[in-house]
Structure 1
Amino acid sequence: MSMNKESKAQHFIDLEDKHGAHNYHPLPVVLEKGEGVYVWDVDGKRYYDFLSAYSAVNQGHCHPAIVNAMNEQAQTLTLTSRAFHNDKLGQYEKYMTEYFKFDKVLPMNTGAEAVETAIKIARKWAYEKKGVEEHAAKIIVCENNFHGRTTTIISFSNDEDARKNFGPYTPGFIKIPYNDTAALEKALQEENVAGFLVEPIQGEAGVFTPNDDFMRASRELCNKYNALFIADEIQTGIARTGGLLAVCGDCSCDAHCERQEATYARPDMLILGKALSGGAYPVSAVLADNEVMNVIKPGQHGSTFGGNPVAAAVAMAALEVVKDEKLIQNARALGSYFRAEINKYIATTDTVTLVRGKGLLNAIVINDTEDSKTAWNICLRLRDNGLLAKPTHGNIIRFAPPLVMTKEQLDECIAIIINTLKEFE
C-alpha cells in the first residue's frame, strides 16, 4: 500500500479518533461503498463482507428493492410520530403479524430498544396476568448473553467492559448457564418469575450453538411454570441460520408451517431487528399474541420514530426479498457446505480447533488463548487478502456473509480463509 493510500484511509480514521467517542475498536479499514456481498474501501479495493453488520445486511448491501422502497417513501412522508395515524403503519403491522404468525407487533428502532420493550411487557404481564406483586418480577437470562448495552441490559451482562463503572445496576434478573435445562427449571421454580429471555444462538459469545433440543425444552418448561418464553432473534432471525427464525429448528421453508410443529419453539415474545431492514434503516420490533401484548395501553410505551413510514416501507421490502430470493434455503445449504469445507481443513491443522454455527452464522475457534492477538492478526491478514471479518472473545472469529452469496463466491471465500490460516501454521 502506497503512502498516499495510507494517508487517505488514515485521514478518516484520525477524524473519528479526534471527534468521536472511543466506544468501538474497528478493524483498520475505511469503507465507502457496498453492493451485494462486497464492500469497497476509500482506495477502491474490494472485499467480501463476512460480518454483514452483525447480520443486519442479510439481504446484501444496498439491495435495490429495499433502497427503492426507502427512497420512494422518503419522498412522500418520513415521520408523523404516533400522535397521528399514517397510511403505512397499519399495512406494516398486518404484514408483520401475518409473516411471523402473531396477533400484535410493537414497532421500535434499535435492537436494544426492542429488548427493553420486551422486558417492560414481560414485567407488566407478570403483574397484571400472573399475579406477581408489583416490583417483584424476575426475568431469567443466560450467562455470556448479549442483548445490547443500555443500563438495564448491562445489569445482567457478564461483559465487564460493558458493565464496569456504569452502575448502580437494575435488579430483577436471575442468571443461569446457557444450554442448561436443569438450571432453567430450577430458576423457573423461584417465586415471581415473569419469563426467560434467551438468544437461540449466542452470537457475541462466539456463535455458541446450544443442543438441538434446548429451545424446545425451554419452551416446554416455560409452559410448565407459566413464564413467558422470550426469544431474542435480533441477530439470528430472518433467514440467518437457515430457518425464518433460529427457533424454527430444522425447517427451511420461508414461513411458519405445519412441518415446523416438531421443532418450532414458538416464543411468547419474539424480538427482531437488524435484518428486518436489510441494513438500510434502524427498524426493530416485538411480536406477541393479544394475551401478552394487550397489557400495554396508550402512553405506557413508545418512540417518536417507532413505526415511522420509512421504517414500515423498508421492512416490508426487506422481508419480501427474503421470500423472493429464497434466502432461508440459501443460508441453510451454503452454511452446511461452509462448515464441511472448514472441517476438512481443521482435520489437517492445529491452527483451528473447531468450526460451529448454523446456516450462515458460523465461527472458528483459533488454537490460542483468549488474551492473544492471533485472531486479530488473522483478521488483519484476511483484510489484506480481500475478506473482512472480526474477532470476538479473543480467539474466535465470526463468519457471517450476506445471504445473497452464491456457491461460487463462497468457494472463493473459503479459499481465502484457508490460505490465510495456513500463513499462521
Structure 2
Amino acid sequence: MIRQCVELGLHRQVRTDRITAQADEFKRRLFWSIYHLERRIVLVLGRPLAISDDEIDIPFPCEISDDSFEDSPDPPEISRGSRASDPKSRPGAPSIPARNDVLFHIHNIMLDQLNAKSRLTLSRLAKVGHGTKIEQKIAKRFQELEDWKNRMFGHSAGGDGSMDLMLSTSRTPVQTPASRLPLPEAQRLVLLLNYHRARRMLLQTMLTEVKLPNRAFPFSSFARSSGEVCQLNRRLHRLGSVPFTLLDLHSVFVAGFSMIYCAWSDPGLYDAEMAADLGACSTVLYLVAEQWGAGAKKYRDAFELIMGKTAEYIPSLRRSHESSQPPPVSVHFQSPLRAPVAVDDTVLGAGLPQPTAPYDVERRRIEGWTKDSIDVWQMMSEFAESQDGDLECDPVNFQEIEAFLEEEGLGWFNGGTSSGF
C-alpha cells in the first residue's frame, strides 16, 4: 500500500489553496495512516523499509476534530495552518481544540520515525566494525527514544534515573502515568507499549548484528522491555475487550522468547518479576489463541513448553550451585548488570563491569558479544534430554520448535543468523 501512495505522490507536499484544503487534509491522513501500518509491520516482522523518511515532506495531519470536515466543505481551521507543518517538528499544545486520536496518531508517527532511524543506524554500524563512535551513535538512538517518552510523560513513566540508557530497567507504574497531552488511558498505554517495543527492537538488533568491545550485553534491560511488552498488552485487554491482531501475536511471542533467552543466558535475572512477565505473556498468548484459533495455538504451545523447561532449569541450577558452595560463601543471585557502576555519560557504558559467569554457566569470552556467544539452545536441549530421561516422559521435539522459531524470525535464539523482530 505504501508503494501505491508513493506512486500517487501522496508523500510529497503540494501547494494548496482554500478550495482543495479539505481534499488535501484527507490525503495527508490517508498517507500517514498507511505509513504507520507499514512501519508497524516493519518493526514486528523485520521487513525492509519501503520508503526513506528523507523522501517524505508532507506535513502531519491537522490537529482538528474529524467533525470539522462534516460541518463545512471548507473548514476555516485548515486554511489557518493549524497543523504541524514540519514532519520532524514536535507537536505542542494545539492552538485550537484538537481531537485526541489525531494527537495520538501524530506521536505514534514520530516514534515510527525514530524506529526507522535506529534501524538504519544499526544496519550501517554492523558493517563498519566497532569503536567509540559506534557506542556514541547507539547512545544517541537511546537518548532520542527517551526524549520522546519524556515529551509525552515527563519523568513519571517509571524512570530510574539511569545515566546509561541502554542499561535502564524502568517499569511502568501500576497507575498509568498521566501524559502531557489530554489522552485517555488506553492511548497512553499504547504509546508506552510502542516505546518498549522500540527499545526491545533496538536491543535485539544490538544482540544479533552489532559488536561492542568489552561490553556485557544488557540482558536485564532487554528482559525488562520484553516484559513490559507482555504486561502492557495484558493491561490493555483488561481495560476493554480489545481484539488482538496477528502482529500483536508475533510481537508478544518474540518478547516472551526474548525473556527466556535472557533467563538462560543469565539465570540471576529469573526472579519474581520475570516470572510475572512470563505469566503475562502466557495469558496474552492464550487470549490470542482463543481469538484466532488453531493458527495461533502453535505459538502458545511452543512458548508454554519452553517456558516450562525454563521453570525447571533455573531452580535446579540454583540448587546445584548452592550445594557445591561451602557454607561461609554466600550465593549472589543478582545480575552484575544491576550493580552500581560509574558511568561516563559522554560515552555509552564507560566504567561498566566485564561480563561474568553467574552460576558457573559457561560463557565464551570474545571481543564483544555475538548471537552465539552463549549457546542457549544447546544448553536447553541438553537439559531437556536429561530431565525427560530421568522422568521417563515423552521427549521434547526440539527440531520442530527450532524450525518454527527460524520461520518466525527467532533464528538468533537457537544460534542462527536471522535478525528478524
TM over 0.5: no
Q: Which structure has the highest helix share of the two?
A: 2
Which fold has the larger relative contact order, with Cα–Cα distance below 8 Å and residues 6 or more apart in sequence?
1
* Shorter-chain TM band: 0.3 to 0.5
Which structure would you say has the larger Rg?
A: 2
